Amino acid sequence: MSSTAQVPSPSARRLAAPAPGWTKTTDVVVVGSGVAGLTTALRVREAGLRVLVVTKAMLDDGSTRWAQGGIAAALGEGDTPEQHLEDTLVAGAGLCDEEAVRMLVTEGPGAVRRLIATGATFDQDDEGEILLTREGGHHRRRIAHAGGDATGAEISRALVEAVRTDDDLELIEHALVLDLLTDAKGRTAGLTLHVMGEGQRDGVGAVHARAVVLATGGLGQVFSATTNPAVSTGDGVALALRAGAEVADLEFVQFHPTVLWLGPDAEGQQPLISEAVRGEGAHLVDADGVRFMVGQHELAELAPRDIVAKGIMRRMHETGAEHMFLDGRHFGAAMWEERFPTILASCRSHGIDPVTELIPVAPAAHYASGGVRTDLRGHTSVSGLYACGEAACTGVHGANRLASNSLLEGLVFAERIAADIIERDRLGKAPPPPP
């Protein structure tokens, strides 16, 4: 069963964190610059509220731009949210919140269309229909992609451009969030942060706001080998814990089955080989060319990620090998160049040509299915504190995230958080009590 944890909030933090050297006041602070954070910020700004986006590095340095495969939604002919629901529940190994999943898959197609209206462009066929592919755990082709294998980069580009062209949306880059500020009743009142290189805002300061949205991404850098960028160090979860918020399912860290193996001493962010490569027909094989996933699951290489990762590790132990191989040589040069240009360039930069060679792969830490516990509107157990994206535990992933549901979760829950903040502002309602 899923697990929940909480630490008490020290009374000293009720009124203040470190003494601020500068202060600022706004309506909403969004921490993070991925699809979840920027979507929240843009939707709240559309209602005329003041929004400040805080990001640890540059605006486009979050995890979103590294997403290769795509975004899952029931957009194809014959596909339905109910089928997407079933695949998600199976992948989650019985630990998903079914109500949350149903909401995700039902609202997902509309959220993707609104993302397109914001400026994101997905790959299309000759008739102008969105091209869809398959990934692990999906029984249908429902993964929309962009630039072949650069979906996250395109989504990030569109959202960053929308943020930068909104002159009223404020931004602080190169800022590390420190602690949540709360009032005497325990309600969110802002946060403190340490800014580096912002002129007059350099150093520790405080931002006062009625709502704080944590969209800080994952914690992959806790592991020696990960697909996550250097900024993914769990800052949002740590801040929430210090503020007394509940977290859940932190033990469910998903390992991606196919990460480019760079040797036993490789550390930090490793190149990802998207599941979409297998979705288009690449095979997992051992050194003898045996497709070892055949017979282990009805979907073979396209089984849910936990099953494929365990299958790879099992074969490695059986054969004494340090890695397995992904075989996409039958694709041919044209398909590699058109469908997977980013992966092709990444492999070639490391001396491997997927057009003519097997790709060495092994599992690596990839995604945190758990995080700050929220309800269906992104509320945490601290009044006025919201969480979404990989930093949150919404219940949609259970023990194992279904491929390409991450961008969708960030998108859908960002819109729900924005709607909640806007509604409460319009009605003059205080933040909700702890759930």
361 with 378, same domain: the answer is no
Q: Which of 316, 347, 366 is the last residue of a domain?
A: 366
Same domain as 233, residue 338: no
In the chain, the number of structural domains is 2
- Domain-embedded: residue 193: yes
Asked if residue 26 is part of any domain, the answer here is yes
In a domain? residue 232? yes
Q: Are residues 111 and 232 in the same domain?
A: yes
Q: Which domain holds residue 353?
A: 253-366
- Residue among 163, 141, 171 at smallest CA distance from 38: 163
Q: Which of 366, 399, 418 is the last residue of a domain?
A: 366
Confirm if 396 and 402 have CB atoms less than 8 A apart.
no
Residue 428's pLDDT is 84
Q: Is the pTM of this model over 0.75?
A: yes
- Residue 66 and residue 48 in one domain: yes
Residues 112 and 257 in one domain: no
pLDDT at 62: 78
Q: What is the CATH number of the domain that holds 270?
A: 3.90.700.10
Cβ burial, residue 174 (10 Å; 0-12/13-18/19+): middle
Kindly state whether residues 291 and 340 are assigned to the same domain.
yes
Average pLDDT, the chain: 92
In this structure, the answer to whether residues 212 and 282 fall within a common structural domain is: no
Q: Give yes or no: residues 51 and 192 share one domain.
A: yes
Specify the length of the chain in residues.
435
In a domain, 417, yes or no: yes
Note whether 246 and 274 are same-domain residues: no
The pLDDT of residue 63 is 81
| Together in a domain, 267 and 219 | no
Which region holds residue 328: left if phi is over 0, alpha if psi is between -120 and 50, else beta?
alpha
Among 346, 366, 386, where does a domain finish? Answer: 366
Residue 433, domain member (yes or no) = no
My answer on whether 345 and 399 are in the same domain is: no
pLDDT in tens, 172-210: 999 999 999 999 889 999 999 999 875 656 789 999 999
Under a CB-based contact definition with an 8 Å cutoff, are residues 278 and 326 in contact?
A: yes
> Does one domain contain both 176 and 276?
no
CB 34 within 8 A of CB 59: no
305 as an active site residue: the answer is yes
CATH number of residue 135's parent domain: 3.50.50.60
Residues of the chain with pLDDT under 70: 1-20, 198-201, 430-435
Q: Which has the closest alpha carbon to 307: 298, 365, 276, 409? A: 298
Q: Is residue 432 part of a domain?
A: no
Name the catalytic one among 305, 339, 401, 416.
Answer: 305
Task: Establish if 321 belongs to a structural domain.
Answer: yes
Asked if residue 10 belongs to a domain, the reply is yes
